[in-house]
Amino acid sequence: MNNTTCVSYDFTGRFLPPVYILVFIIGLVANGWGLKSLLHNWKKLGNVNVFVLNLGLADILYLLTLPFLMVYYFMRSKWIFGDAFCKITRFCFNLNLYGSIGFLTCISVYRYLAIVHPVRVMGRLTRTHSVAISITVWLLVSVQSLPDMFYPKTFGNSTEQCFDTTNEIYVEDYLKYSLGRTLTGFCVPFLITLGCYGHMAVVLWTMKKTDNVQKQRSLKLLFILILLFSVCYIPYHVFRNLNLVSRVLLKQGLCQGWFNRVYIAHQISRGLVCLNSALNPLVYLHVNEDIPAQLRQLLQQVRQTFSRLFLSNSGCVPVPLTVDEA
């Protein structure tokens, strides 16, 4: 059976390139600015900020591969950069995806310990511990993602395609690998994060003496993590595995109406999961207290600049701002 008669593959080329362009621009600007702010305040970096720094590095690593994927889809799924670089590109995606989940989990655990068990951890968790844990996360994610590079990303002798999973010959084995990676790389960290913030929410709600600012900060971070997992991570893992199941059945000669719907949903989830590189900077705004103040100052400068330009173009004389107005 011809796969194109059961599943239409035209949707990917229309949907993913605009998403990649948007994520590349927003993600590069937001992460670059966030990392610059963190490095500028390096001496004041706390334990959690070490994880935020690694989160930004994971995003930058993936964002730098997006221009090559844009070219790939603009050329109607024709990969011109070679098989080795195709595997490296997909490997960087996995490092970003599971590295982001890992570092967000570390941030959640640290927040949980600081709020629920402040006396036990006071002075015991140092920056050195955070660096060691970050290195461990990178190693675990790399080991977990390394098998993906041994699966063929092209079909036969042709290097025109660059599969995000593998070709049809090895799709059954890749499904098993994908399910295992979903369990260890997504489900376990998600349950840990959910447990930490669930218990933290109960503690904050029952502790009447807790500072309201601390409660608001914890609830904001909880909302950001729920947003990331709900929009970026959960749909991708669900539809990636469902799409692999449909490919296995399609290889066996079956053709069901839901195959094409699952394929489209999977492509949408691929666009959503790459949004994490543009949404992760929201964690910067929450964890680093200096960044919101810098953002407000930047916005104020932009507003004043536009005001002066408007007044000069209209021929009016600009009135200097008073101290109260500034």
CA distance 112 to 196: 6
311 or 98, which is more confident:
98
Alpha helices in the chain, H assignment, sequence order: 3-6, 10-40, 47-63, 66-74, 83-116, 118-121, 127-145, 171-182, 188-206, 212-227, 234-251, 257-274, 276-279, 281-287, 290-314
pLDDT at 8: 82
Is the per-residue pLDDT at 206 higher than 60?
yes
171 touches 247 (CB < 8 A): yes
Of the two residues 120 and 256, the one the predictor is more confident about is 256
* Model pLDDT, residue 325: 42
What is the rounded CA–CA span in Å between residue 118 and residue 147?
40
Dist. CA 220–CA 174, nearest whole Å: 37
Q: In whole angstroms, give the CA distance from residue 297 to residue 190.
A: 36
pLDDT, tens digit (0-9, with 9 covering 90-100), for 93-145: 999 999 999 999 998 898 888 888 877 776 777 888 889 999 999 999 999 99
Strongest mean pLDDT among 76-90, 171-185, 300-314 = 171-185
By the 8 A CB rule, do 189 and 103 touch?
A: no
Residue 35, pLDDT score: 81
Whether the predicted pLDDT of 185 surpasses 80: yes
* pLDDT recorded at residue 76: 83
Range of 6-10, 28-32, 309-313 with top mean pLDDT: 28-32
Q: How confident is the model at residue 288 (pLDDT cuts 50, 70, 90)?
A: low
Distance CA 159, CA 149 (A): 15
pLDDT of residue 302: 54
The share of the chain scoring above pLDDT 70, in percent, equals 80
277 vs 47: CA distance, rounded Å: 22
The answer to whether residue 324 scores a pLDDT higher than 50 is: no
At residue 323, the pLDDT reads 41
Q: Which alpha helices (DSSP H) does 183-289 contain, by range?
A: 188-206, 212-227, 234-251, 257-274, 276-279, 281-287
pLDDT value for 37: 76
**According to DSSP H, which parts of 146-211 are helical?**
171-182, 188-206
Distance of alpha carbon 214 from alpha carbon 216, whole angstroms:
5
Q: What does each C-alpha distance from 188 to 85, 176, 182, 289 come to in angstroms?
A: 30, 17, 9, 30
The predicted structure's pLDDT at residue 312: 63
Instruction: Write the pLDDT tens digit of every residue in 64-96.
Output: 999 999 999 988 888 999 889 999 999 999 999
Among 92-106, 219-233, 276-290, 292-306, the least confident range: 292-306
What's the pLDDT band for 315 if we cut at 50, 70, 90?
low
Q: pLDDT tens digits, residue range 211-241?
A: 666 667 777 777 888 888 889 999 999 999 9
With beta carbons less than 8 A apart as the criterion, state whether 156 and 83 touch: no
Q: What is the pLDDT of residues 4-24, one digit of tens each?
A: 678 888 888 889 999 999 999
Handedness of CA 290, 293, 299, 301 (dihedral sign): negative
Percentage, residues of the chain above pLDDT 90: 44
